[in-house]
């Protein structure tokens, strides 16, 4: 059976932490930052963690060669 390839679209948007969780960048941080308040932008700097069924799908797609 052939090896599973890393999903390149997911690999650009998510990282797997040392404990195996999927980490993502907060949305609304790309552009049009002028109208947003400093507090809002400051809180958006932190990365989020994916939970639920989607997390397992993402982590499985990021593991190459399994």
| Average pLDDT for 6-31 | 95
Q: What is the pLDDT of residue 3?
A: 84
The average confidence (pLDDT) of the chain is 93
Instruction: Select the CATH number that applies to the domain covering 8-62 from these four: 4.10.410.60, 1.20.1300.10, 3.30.70.20, 3.90.650.10.
Output: 4.10.410.60
| Average pLDDT for 28-39 | 97
Domain ranges of the chain: 8-62
Q: How confident is the model at residue 13 (pLDDT cuts 50, 70, 90)?
A: very high
Give the global pTM: 0.79
Give me the phi and psi of 23, to 5 degrees please: -110, 140
Q: What is the pLDDT of residue 24?
A: 96
């Amino acid at each position: 059976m052939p090896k599973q390839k890393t999903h390149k679209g997911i690999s650009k948007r998510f990282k797997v932490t040392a404990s195996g969780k999927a980490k993502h960048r907060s949305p609304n941080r790309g552009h049009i930052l002028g109208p947003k308040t400093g507090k809002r932008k400051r809180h958006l700097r932190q990365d989020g963690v994916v939970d639920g069924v989607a997390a397992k799908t993402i982590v499985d797609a990021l593991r190459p060669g399994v």
